[in-house]
Amino acid sequence: MTRSDSTPARCPPELLHGAKRVSVGPGLTGLLWTEVCTQLSDPARRYLRDTFPAVAVQAFTATTEQYWHNWLSDDNLDRLSGLVVVLDTAGLPVAWVASNDRMFGGRKCFYANSAGVHPDHQGTGISSTIWRVVLRAAIAKAAPRSLYAVMRTGNPLVYGAWSAATGRTDATWPTPGSEVPEHVQRIAADAVADLGQADRLDPRSLVITDAYDDTEAGLWTQRPTSDRSDIDEWFASILGPRDAIVLVVAFQPMRILVGEVRRTMRRTLGLRSSSSRSSRA
């Protein structure tokens, strides 16, 4: 994990206690808690409750601040196995990801609990950067076995990003026109039961009816779109405003390791070629 070398002057000290810093980009500070129950202090929780909900409702436009105050309850926070919050130079949250370790379908799974980015920072790659921080550690713990990442989502952009992250075309469920294997159905059934929505799941399609019933209109006033029109159209055809799918994605540790090595080599080569061009200039 790469750490930032400096902290913005107004980064609240109560958040720094118990957190590890992660690099997320210029002018931003990423803070990681891997044992939220013990590492996230009471002052840090109070700070997040004071600042986080106002940001979250801008990322999920149909939610309320009370919805996020409930999400930030001690009971919910203490169940998280990983939490990353990104702060701007004023010390205000602008992005987050949260995860849980779960046993679903007899397999150890990585449950992607929640993620969001303030509209001013969307499209910058922050979400994928901070997801990689918590996912990398989970994949390492699961090795050499495959790690199943599980999430409830109605966002086609999220679907596309997680599907692409596996580097495979046969490691994402559900997919249009394909059957869901029995072991994935069992994973999804346990995940939805954990959410208290077992009676709302269609195991063949992995669609959860009224998944987001905490708000009248779901999470968004208008569903986000991705860079793939086929996925956008598929989501629109199978999901209502408050519906979601259980997305299950399989990661193979060795494939991920090779991918990390390749990315490191590309970055290194990119820096060298950039330096060469500067010298010639």
pLDDT at residue 7, as a whole number: 46
The answer to whether domain 1-142 has CATH 3.40.630 is yes
pLDDT at 254: 67
pLDDT, residue 225, reads 87
Which part of the chain is CATH 3.40.630?
A: 1-142
Residue 278's pLDDT is what? 27
Q: Residue 113 and residue 255: Cα distance in Å, rounded? A: 24
Q: What's the confidence (pLDDT) of residue 267?
A: 67
- Please give the Cα distance from 23 to 86 (Å, whole number): 10
pLDDT tens series, the chain, 281 aa: 333 444 444 678 888 888 999 999 888 999 999 889 999 999 999 999 999 999 999 999 989 999 999 999 999 999 999 999 999 999 999 999 999 999 999 999 999 999 999 999 988 889 989 998 888 888 888 888 889 999 999 999 999 989 988 878 799 999 999 999 999 999 999 999 999 999 999 999 999 999 998 777 677 778 888 889 999 999 999 999 999 999 999 998 766 666 666 666 676 676 543 333 222 22
In 3D space, the residue among 87, 118, 111 whose CA is nearest the CA of residue 19 turns out to be 87
Query: pLDDT at position 182, please?
Result: 97
The reported pLDDT for the residue numbered 123 is 83
Looking at residue 215, what is its pLDDT? Answer: 72
* pLDDT for position 217: 67
Enter the pTM of the model.
0.80
